[in-house]
Structure 1
Amino acid sequence: MGNLGGKVALVTGGSRGIGRGIAERLARDGALVAVHYGSNEAAAKETAAAIAEAGGRAFVVGAELGVPGDVDTLVAGLEAGLHAHGEPAIDILVHNAGLNLMGRPIEVLTPEEFDRMVAVNVKAPFFLTQRLLPRLRDGGRIINISSVSTRVASAHGIGYPLTKGALEVFSHTLAKHLGPRGITVNAVSVGYTRTDMTSEVLADPANVERNIGLTALGRIGRVPDIADAVAFLASDDARWITGTKIDVTGGVNL
């Protein structure tokens, strides 16, 4: 049993990529993990099965984010899973799910596209947190996955960085609000990371070379680089860290 034994975690967007890595790492550390997915149920079940095969515990929760009733659907599924495992509350909430419409500079980004990113990246975390605060134990953890694009001007569009900037403000403001309950709130800034969702971009050797050249540690990030940082923030070792952003980018654009 790891240092999260007896804890319960919800990871949004936990079926693939960075979210899957986070879910698997938290489970390996002993947490019961609710693996949320938006549309790919098979991937979520595969993640939960991999966790179980490794000796951990997990269940899946399905809810498309950014649509009417998204929080209601997610919370209903979470509560059903918690009840099935005899758990009344959660300890760790990781807002990982996100939508990035790349290649959409200000000249072409539509109101509908902008609204979709805000709905998934800002509105859903805000109101999901609001609903779950009564179920989040004192001394708990909220961890928001952000992006290096909030400090480095993005060549891929302005909408996504705007939403992640809002999430970072949400983090430190909420940290002050929840401090009396001993709940820490932090953001993790992610840089160039190799996942199934970035495989197409990183299939181009020129993109790989350019991104490595911008990174102080001289390589593309890997999913465990992010998951390990999240696991640290979720642990008791990070009990005195709140209201901040951890840059987990390998030193992009230093």
Structure 2
Amino acid sequence: MAHALTRRRLLAAGAGTAAAAVVGGLTARELSRPRTGPDPAVPDTPAGDERLIRIAPGARGREVDFWTAVPEGYGDGRGLPVCLVLHGASATARDFPRFGFARFLTDAVRRGAPPFVLAGASGGRLSWRRSGDDDPQRMVREEVPTWCARRGFDTSRLAVWGWSMGGFGALLLAETYPGWLRAVAAFSPAVRPDDAVFAGAARLRGTPVGLWCGRQDNFLKDVRALARALPEPPARAAWADGRHNFAYWGTVIPDAFTLLGAALTPPRTA
């Protein structure tokens, strides 16, 4: 199954011990350290329909926060496609309103990005992979789209966006289910050359990938290596001054939302 949106069009649109254990691309010590940093500079635009509820996914065996945001002016978002949001290790879905994601979304649409919905649930600190009976990746694959469909969102058109640990999880999700997602946007993904994302990179063929990372981020070398390891050139690969925090990530959200909106808009063709 092919994507109607080519990479060229997307490029135009986007202008041994517990202490040493590695989870995804992060060591246990790194995962335990607060990493979010300063909140992003949020656009002076209104949020649309933004909701945060508690819900009990079977895949996680516990209640989690589930958040959605619709751009202002689009009512309850019925009929809009969905970008799944995968948070980093130092955040949960409950932080999304504070980060201003709903306002970033409205701003992107007002600047010309095709409208879409953001939807994300708390996935713990497992790098969006299964641990025993706790399977946040299955929650995102099977349950979050069902919750979105109940709201009337168009779950036949899905993309994914994540940062840090969530960037790792977003890329891994696209590799695990090739062709399911229209695009992947990853900010400073916590990847390393010997991890599962690098091992499965060939499965990203046909899925537009956007990568962003700050030049002062410790992951920069590995993220750039991933860009070179992809089976096709990334739809977007941008390296600007910035560290591993939202002070930097907030500056590239507009670019990512433009890319995601363009990927979600055209109909998929056989």
Task: State the TM-score, normalized to the length of structure 2.
Answer: 0.41
**Highest relative contact order (Cα 8 Å, sep 6+), 1 or 2?**
2
Which structure has more helix as a fraction of its residues? 1
TM-score by length of 1: 0.43
